[in-house]
A and B are shown apart, each in its own frame.
Chain A
Amino acid sequence: MKDLAFIGLAACLIAAAFAVVTARSLFRAAYALSAVLVTTAGFYLLLSAPLLAAVQILLYTGGVLTLVVFALVVAGANTEGARWRRPVPAALTSAAVFLALAATARRIPATAPLEGLESGKGVGVLLFHDYLVPFELLSVLLLGAVFGALLLARKDRPE
């Protein structure tokens, strides 16, 4: 059952990933990216991390997709003259990187996975005990990103 779900999700993930990089329209690429993110959330469910799946869909898919579509509408998704930039060297480079990563992945020793890893409570405890300082620093980072984005994108520049 899990293997069947893995194969189905993997096929969806690869197909959607190809669509992200090859779609002619960037709106289609953005929707394909949302499909990739939701499929990855499915993998997180399979890997017994349901909290992460929820965060992935709520924060990542919702937030990033909204921002990207908004920017596409404002900046214009014009693709005229936007064909591929040297596609053959790019494909060769990424194939070489894939082969190197695959060779590394094969050397990682596989351990028997622990089934039924209950992650929600454990993640909460880790987050608010062991990783409390990074968690608070993250809020400062997000605030800085909001101010930085506002400063960069506002229309009335003082000078």
Chain B
Amino acid sequence: MTLVNLLLLAAAVFAIGLYGVLARRHAIGVLLSIELMFNAVNLAVVSISWSKGLLAGVVLVLFGIAITVAEIAVGLALVLLASRVGKSVILDDLSELKG
């Protein structure tokens, strides 16, 4: 278990999440993939913090987790609103804001 291995693992999970963001059609699927990417970033921050023997990274990730929970609450509220007003949660159907 070395820092490079941990960072490579985090990079792999980040890339998988990016694929989900790009390829999913359902809005909640995209939100789940964003969570995946965020989780990978958290893992990388904690790994670097562990390797340097610093605790600030752990505190940063604590703040990040709380902010993510707020973000997912607002994001899901938007999805519910879209499903009621726009009658769809498939992102290709929600293109009214497109220029």
A residues whose Cβ falls under 8 Å from a Cβ of B: 2-3, 6, 10, 13-14, 17-18, 20-21, 26, 29-30, 33, 36-37, 40, 43-44, 46-49, 51-52, 55-56, 59-60, 63-64, 67-68, 70-72, 74-77, 79, 81-87, 89-91, 93-95, 97-98, 101-102, 105-106, 108, 110-111, 113-114, 117, 119, 122-123, 126-127, 131, 134-135, 138, 141-142, 144-146, 148-150, 152-153, 155
CB distance from B46 to the nearest CB of A (A): 5
CB-contact partner of A3 in B1, B26, B80, under 8 A: B1
B11 touches A85 (CB 8 A): no
Bound complex: CA A101 to CA B50 (Å): 19
Bound complex: CA A87 to CA B78 (Å): 25
Question: In the complex, given contacts A75-B82, A110-B3, what are 13 additional A-B residue pairs having Cβ atoms less than 8 angstroms apart?
Answer: A17-B16, A21-B19, A26-B29, A26-B32, A33-B35, A64-B68, A68-B76, A87-B23, A90-B19, A93-B18, A101-B15, A106-B4, A123-B62
A33 touches B32 (CB 8 A): yes
Q: Closest residue to B48 on the A side, CB-wise?
A: A108
B51 touches A111 (CB 8 A): yes
B53 touches A101 (CB 8 A): no
A145 touches B74 (CB 8 A): yes
B36 touches A21 (CB 8 A): yes
Residues 11-50 of B, flagged 1 when their CB comes within 8 A of A and 0 if not, give 1111111111011111111011101100100110011111
CB-contact partner of B13 in A36, A55, A91, A150, under 8 A: A36
Contacts of A141 in B (CB 8 A): 66-67, 70
How many B residues have CB within 8 A of the partner chain?
72
Contacts of A101 in B (CB 8 A): 7, 11, 14-15
Contacts known (A64-B69, A122-B55); A105 close to B80, Cβ less than 8 A: no
> Which secondary structure dominates where chain A touches chain B?
helix
A29 touches B29 (CB 8 A): yes
CB-contact partner of A52 in B24, B25, B61, under 8 A: B61
